[in-house]
Chain A
Amino acid sequence: MSGLHDLQAYEVVEGIKQGLFSAEEYFSSVIKTLEHVESRLHSFITLDTDKALSCAKVIDGKLKANEDIGQLGGVVVGIKDNISTKGIRTTCASKILESYVPSYDATVIQRLKQNGAIILGKLNLDEFGMGSTTEYSSYYPTHNPWNLDYVPGGSSGGSGAAVAAGECTVSLGSDTGGSIRCPASFCSVVGLKPTYGRVSRYGLISYANSLEQIGPICRSVKDVVMIMNIISGKDNKDDTSMSSSPITINNKLEKFEIAIIKDLIDGSDDEVKRTIYSASEKFSDIGCMLDEISIKHLNYALPSYYTLASAEASSNLARYDNIRYGFNLPIEEYKWDTYFSDVRKNFGEEVKRRILIGSYVLSSGYYSKYYLKARGLRSLLKLELLKLFKKYDLLIGPTMPILPFKFGEKIDDPIKMYLVDINTVIANLAGIPAISLPVGFSNGLPIGLQIMAAPFEEQKLIDVSYALEQSINIQRRPKLE
């Protein structure tokens, strides 16, 4: 059967349960698509096709035996390659972990498997999640399925491109400063960064623990709800995780008070501005009240983010010593310092830059000048946002200030690359949930709207995103001939 790879996750589960098609038929359709486009996209680092096919057969067998196939029975899922998968190589797109095969599943993977999801493979990213284009992957960059000359966003670029192109039906990404929302915006799919603590980070390979969360990238808001209800919840293996109420799709929308963050609009390209204003007019059409606000501490958000993220990276990445896991480099032939420095030269340039910046801002003399100020700013920003959320239900703006850009445009200038994240880091610093929803195109390149809510108010994000999704007819599938 053709076209099964185009289905959304909830349609796949219904179709399999109702016997409209088998899990194996749907799986074959996804693989056919993957074989057609992967050589041009490079979304995946590792594929586990044989195991995935046998899982599809198990789903069909269960259905024949009248057994429960789970809420995600048969759905093909791709996983960002910084999330641990038992028995499947997990590289973080780094040479330093090129042969690392985890002996355990991350909690999110356990929960997906328990609900019948089929793990197809591991998706490309910027090394350790540090980047916004996938150009910092040690393997190869992923290409944007809407225009192969352009970047797909990052760091979860493989996760965004694969879902947009139909190489998998949903994917998991991780978001430290916008790494789910950026590729969701650039690839015209839906991406949610949950509230800090809503989803367990056990098994997510750490880069900046106080900022990062795992979240879904999907082709619809309905699929985001489905995945979130499976991966969310308290986990004894992550003490920062918390229990939360399930989210649902509501067909009736409350009259929300929504504020546009003017500073984010002002700093955006004209095409992005126009599309965001046009999309925000739809909020009035669906009965919401619109206002415009400014955020006092916004100018300090990105410097604060890069100070904190680099400081945490320098500490987290100190563990890569090649002693317990890594590549084949015999310890007998080296002396202590030489061995570790030689091993760690295998980090890519961006990772090295962030480790050095992290060491700098944490060093005596600079700690209070940079790190403590960044911590203080983070608290002030959070207080300011929480105050705004007492007046407004939701804050909106462009997910990305610019359109997807061509490969190589920003790679030689780290500051230019960092500025790409200016709209998204706010949610990570404050620990609040944020979603990117496709709202338009300019010259064939996608534009996403970012919606933010108070901590654990994902339901409001979903309600308004679903209503907006119904009122804006956006092309969801790129044509890859």
Chain B
Amino acid sequence: MISKAEIEYLAKISKINLTEDEAKKFPEQLDKTIEYIDILDELASDHSIILDLQEIKFDELRDDVVRMSGALPITRNLTEEGFLKGPKMK
């Protein structure tokens, strides 16, 4: 059972404010969802090896060089020195 306190913690780390209505109905809804995906736990743990990693062909990866996208740079909240400006830490 996922508790109200756990929902509040998840919302905090996800940086999301919940409305009163959401805080009220999310515990039951999320609990049902977790219960639904719980079936995955039936899979034997040796199945949890990530087989698709074997499909990556490392010689096909691109060179690690910067490529310009061609999109115009976003200038919102940029300082004159080119730093991104955010809200105060404290």
Q: Which residues of A contact B (CB under 8 A)?
A: 102-104, 236-237, 239, 299-300, 303-304, 306-307, 314, 318, 323-325, 331-332, 334-342, 344-345, 347, 349, 352-353, 355-357, 359-361, 363, 368-370, 372-380, 382-383, 414-415, 418
Contacts and interface: CB of A to CB of B under 8 A. Distances in A.
21 contacts: A318-B14, A318-B15, A323-B86, A336-B87, A336-B89, A341-B17, A347-B16, A352-B16, A355-B16, A356-B14, A369-B41, A370-B40, A373-B48, A374-B37, A375-B48, A375-B52, A376-B43, A376-B48, A376-B50, A377-B47, A415-B36
Given A325-B74, A372-B50, A300 B43 contact: yes
Contacts of B67: 236-237
A314 B13 CA distance: 11
Nearest to A383: B51
B1 interface: no
B52 A378 contact: yes
Nearest to A307: B37
Contacts, number: 155
A239 B7 CA distance: 37
Nearest to B7: A356
Contacts of B85: 323, 331
A387 B12 CA distance: 44
A379 B11 contact: no
A344 B16 contact: yes
Contacts of A375: 48, 50, 52
B49 interface: yes
B74 A345 contact: no
Contacts of B34: 357, 360
A353 B43 contact: no
Contacts of B2: 360
B14 to A, nearest CB: 5
Nearest to A306: B37
A357 B16 contact: no
Sorting the interface of chain B by its residue count into under 10, 10 to 19, 20 to 34 or 35 or more gives: 35 or more
Interface string B13-56: 11111110010001001101110111111110001111110000
Contacts of A325: 74, 76
A323 B77 contact: yes
B52 A379 contact: yes
Per CB-CB distance, the 5 closest pairs between chain A and chain B, nearest first, are A379-B51, A104-B71, A103-B72, A345-B17, A339-B87
Contacts of A383: 51
A192 B7 CA distance: 38
A337 B89 CA distance: 8
Given A324-B74, A331-B86, A379-B51, A415 B33 contact: yes
Contact of B41 (A318, A331, A373): A373
A314 B14 contact: yes
Contacts of A374: 37, 40
Interface string B68-88: 011110101100000011111
* Most B C-beta atoms less than 10 A away, residue of A304, A318, A335, A373: A373
Nearest to A352: B16
Contacts of A418: 33, 36
A357 B70 contact: no
A341 B10 CA distance: 12
A338 B89 CA distance: 10
A303 B47 contact: no
A383 B7 CA distance: 36
Contacts of A331: 77, 85-87
B47 A376 contact: yes
A353 B26 contact: yes
Contacts of A361: 37
B17 A324 contact: no
A337 B10 contact: no
B59 to A, nearest CB: 14
Contacts of A324: 74, 76-77, 84
Contacts of A299: 39
Nearest to A326: B76
